[in-house]
């Protein structure tokens, strides 16, 4: 009996049937490539901070340096002679003279002087801000450590903090008959709903400060403890005839002013204000401040400073409002002012001071600073 081999035929037939029954293969649809949209924040448009300013009586050399450094920033610059309280220039006068803004970390100067005078700490006292991290006052000022000054505030208590803030000129007009000036605000009670006294002494919560108030405070630190009334002469004759007027002598620890100067120098040398440094032989001392002003929702950048070299010593306060600003940015503006004036040999020119009366006139127009308990 013959055997028929049918396997190849069968397999072939099955494959043909399968190909007929199988649905046609569908082409894969190509997925369209979507381009990622990069959203870039637009820088705020430049402004002219000099609009409306009256420059009669200004030191024009200093004003040109300040205007050039400020550029298109929304903000204000105030420059003062710490030896007599004369305002040498005020850029963006409308902003500088208004009620003011939160001082941010510049308030740490007040906290430091209060803590030193009340023997809460000395310059070398170490405070642990966490389990393994500690600071002394010089380091804390240079690095602007918030927790350190929060701790000092709680140890001082509100009444003593208020006493020294008032003594140093916060909450009152800094100027003597400066047209349009409004005082800042100093809370009469502890701002408990906003972090209490610790936030007051580290960020300035409960305080509204003007650039003039900070300039007067820094002048007192620079000159050894005389809080002058700021005077803004409007003619060259007024500038030539200006007589310094002391508001009050500061009652502080004997070494308190020198102690905080180390931290202010450290801020510029290695801390938050390195952008202000321009020449190691012409040191600048200062304190930065960065935060948001709650009432206006504006980002704030502060830098208050003074130099300690040469014939012409200056206090330079830079306040920036809105946009991508900060204390370090404000320090850069101030540094450019010092650098510009140094290039013109301003700090070594005219080293012989003009003859004035031997003693400044002391004026006290209001009681100040009831003794804290």
Q: Cβ neighbours of residue 1 under 8 Å, at least 6 residues apart?
A: none
Alpha-carbon distances, residue 306 vs 59, 138, 173, 314 (angstroms): 17, 17, 21, 6
pLDDT at 47: 78
Residue bearing tokens 């809105």: 322
Say what the pTM is. Answer: 0.84
Domains, the chain, ordered by start: 60-350 (3.40.710.10)
Token duo for residue 212? 């003039």
Put the strands of the sheet holding 298-307 in their side by side order: 86-91, 75-81, 315-321, 298-307, 284-293
* pLDDT by position in tens, the chain (length 373): 444 444 444 443 443 444 444 444 555 555 555 555 554 555 566 778 999 999 999 999 999 999 999 999 999 999 999 999 999 999 999 999 987 999 999 999 999 999 999 999 999 999 999 999 999 999 999 999 999 999 999 999 999 999 999 999 999 999 999 999 999 999 999 988 778 999 999 999 999 999 999 999 999 999 999 999 999 999 989 999 999 999 999 999 999 999 999 999 999 999 999 999 998 889 999 999 999 998 888 899 999 999 988 778 999 999 999 889 999 999 999 999 999 999 999 998 654 544 444 555 545 445 566 544 4
Q: Please report the pLDDT score of residue 78 as a whole number.
A: 98
pLDDT of residue 10: 43
Q: Helix, strand or coil for residue 68? A: helix
Q: Which two three-digit tokens encode residue 255?
A: 């070494």
């Amino acid at each position: 009996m013959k055997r028929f081999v049918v396997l190849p035929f069968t397999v072939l037939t099955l494959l043909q049937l399968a190909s007929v029954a199988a649905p046609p293969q569908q082409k894969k649809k190509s997925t369209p490539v979507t381009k990622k949209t990069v959203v870039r924040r637009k820088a705020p448009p430049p402004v002219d901070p000099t609009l409306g300013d009256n420059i009669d009586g200004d030191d024009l050399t200093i004003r040109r340096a300040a205007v050039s450094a400020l550029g298109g920033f929304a903000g204000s610059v105030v420059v003062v002679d710490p030896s007599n309280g004369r305002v040498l220039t005020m850029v963006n006068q409308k902003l500088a003279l208004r009620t003011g803004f939160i001082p941010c970390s510049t308030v740490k100067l007040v906290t430091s002087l209060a803590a030193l005078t009340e023997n809460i700490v000395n310059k070398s006292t170490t405070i642990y801000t966490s389990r393994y991290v500690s600071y002394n006052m010089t380091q804390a000022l240079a690095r602007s450590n918030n927790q350190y000054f929060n701790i000092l505030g709680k140890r001082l208590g509100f009444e003593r903090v208020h006493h020294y803030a008032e003594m140093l000129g916060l909450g009152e007009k800094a100027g003597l008959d400066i047209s349009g000036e409004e005082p800042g605000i100093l809370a009469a009670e502890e701002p408990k709903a906003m972090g209490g006294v610790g936030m007051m002494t580290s960020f300035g919560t409960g305080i509204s400060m003007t650039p003039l108030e900070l300039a007067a405070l820094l002048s007192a630190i620079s000159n050894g403890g005389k809080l002058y009334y700021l005077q803004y002469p409007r003619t060259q004759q007024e500038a030539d005839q200006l007589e310094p007027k002391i508001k009050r002598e500061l009652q502080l620890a004997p070494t308190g002013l020198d102690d905080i100067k180390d931290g202010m120098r450290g801020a510029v040398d290695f801390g938050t204000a390195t952008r202000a440094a321009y020449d190691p032989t012409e040191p600048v001392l200062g304190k930065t401040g960065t935060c948001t002003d709650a009432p206006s929702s504006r980002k704030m950048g502060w830098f208050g400073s003074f130099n300690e070299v040469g014939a012409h010593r200056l206090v330079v306060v830079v306040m920036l409002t809105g946009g991508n600003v900060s204390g370090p940015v404000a320090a850069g503006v101030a540094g450019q002012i010092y650098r510009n004036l140094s290039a013109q040999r301003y700090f070594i020119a005219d080293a012989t001071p003009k003859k004035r009366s031997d003693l400044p006139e002391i004026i006290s127009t209001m009681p100040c600073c009831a003794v804290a308990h």
